[in-house]
Amino acid sequence: MTATTAPTAATVAPETLSTAQAINRALRDALAEDPTVLVLGEDVGALGGVFRVTDGLTAEFGEDRCFDTPLAEAGIAGFAVGLAMNGMRPVIEMQFDAFAYPAFEQIVSHIAKMRNRTRGRVELPLVIRVPYAGGIGGVEHHCDSSEAYYAHTPGLHVVAPSTPADAYALLREAIASPDPVVFLEPKKLYWAKGEMDRGPVPGIGTAVVRRQGTDATLIAYGPSVPVALEAAEVAARDGRSLQVVDLRSLVPYDDAGVCAAVESTGRAVVVAEASGFAGFAAEVAARVGERCFHSLAAPVRRVTGLDIPYPPPKLEHLQLPSVDRILDAVDDLQWEDA
């Protein structure tokens, strides 16, 4: 897993920030350093966004740099295409994951395909920020796991940070990228805090090992990473050593890094909040099965959301991957001592 250096601000002492604060800091630093960066979306201006991620940006940089748009997601995406084609670097917010679907045609037909359509002559350096996934008890249309739609679309980069440090570094890299990036922000992690030293951080396309282990590898991303880490901690009390790999980047995908981790243990469980059928977890399981076949002591298992729409808040815990479900999958990995 090769480390690259993401764009950083001036060196500062380590500090503790929430994920929302880290994203705000990344946007603020990008706006300060590059006059072509713009932030736009529904209520991102004076209100600071539904989750207050853009709080203070309009006051600091003015309404020409961070501004509200009409409630028209297709229009927001289309407007961003025009801005990017004319030398700007727009960062758009879709407010909620399931609100982004009216913009899907713009994203798939134009944002993802413009470079190919123009034989590389036209780049679209834009970022689509999507507050994403469940865990906050949101009602219908406010919680969804839509990563498979974007990851399945050639021409898009798709990232899902699980820590404040990654949220900062990956967003800075996404804004600097010449390619369009879908930046999935796990809603339930907005308030999770972590240390921010803003030093060299592995870039887009690189997975990282969050916890070392020797018995099996848990592969997760975004909101599922903390659950996988908790499962590994519980397993350790019973004498089972679980490794945890955080994908961080879904597209490009770190085949080499993931395979190295799986081959070191011989067993793998993929953990993802999205529905299991035809989901991104299925792609990960398939790639591991194809590339690590001779190293596997058991078939790859998946722990995912159920194949249903996100349920009402009081039933949401049944939909989300849990420590118990992860440990059940680990127990099913054909252990010799079972």
How large is the average pLDDT for residues 210-227? 97
**Looking at the predicted structure, is the pLDDT value of residue 70 above 60?**
yes
Torsion region of 43: left, alpha or beta (phi above 0 gives left; psi -120 to 50 gives alpha): left
Distances 36 to 33, 111, 128, 175 between C-alpha atoms, Å: 9, 18, 16, 10
Band (pLDDT 50/70/90 cuts) for residue 336 is low
How large is the average pLDDT for residues 318-338? 88
Identify whether 142 is a catalytic site residue. Answer: yes
CA atoms of 215 and 266, how far apart (whole Å):
7
Q: What is the structure's pLDDT at 201? A: 82
**Looking at the predicted structure, is the pLDDT value of residue 108 above 70?**
yes
CA atoms of 266 and 259, how far apart (whole Å):
10
The domain spans of the chain are 17-196, 208-331
Write the class of the CATH domain 17-196.
alpha beta
CA atoms of 338 and 336, how far apart (whole Å):
6
Q: What is the structure's pLDDT at 4? A: 42
Q: What is the structure's pLDDT at 248? A: 97
Q: What is the structure's pLDDT at 155? A: 97
Q: What is the dihedral of CA 90, 45, 24, 321, to 10 degrees?
A: -90
- Encoding tokens for residue 110? 């134009």
Distances 140 to 101, 115, 134 between C-alpha atoms, Å: 14, 35, 11
Band (pLDDT 50/70/90 cuts) for residue 78 is very high
Q: What is the structure's pLDDT at 337? A: 57
Q: What is the structure's pLDDT at 110? A: 96
CA atoms of 138 and 97, how far apart (whole Å):
11
Q: What is the structure's pLDDT at 118? A: 94
Strands 249-251, 157-159: pairing kind: antiparallel
Pick the catalytic residue from 141, 142, 157, 294. Answer: 142
Contact 209, 243 (CB under 8 A): yes
Q: In sequence order, which residues have a C-beta less than 8 Å from that of residue 238 and are 6 or more positions away?
A: none
Fold for domain 208-331? Answer: Rossmann fold (3.40.50)
CA atoms of 209 and 193, how far apart (whole Å):
19
Whether 17-196 and 208-331 share one fold: the answer is: yes
pTM, two decimals, is 0.92
How large is the average pLDDT for residues 41-62? 95
Band (pLDDT 50/70/90 cuts) for residue 9 is very low
Task: Supply the DSSP string of 208-257, one letter for each residue.
Answer: EEEE--SSEEEEE-GGGHHHHHHHHHHHHHTT--EEEEE--EEES--HHH
Average pLDDT, the chain: 92
Band (pLDDT 50/70/90 cuts) for residue 12 is low
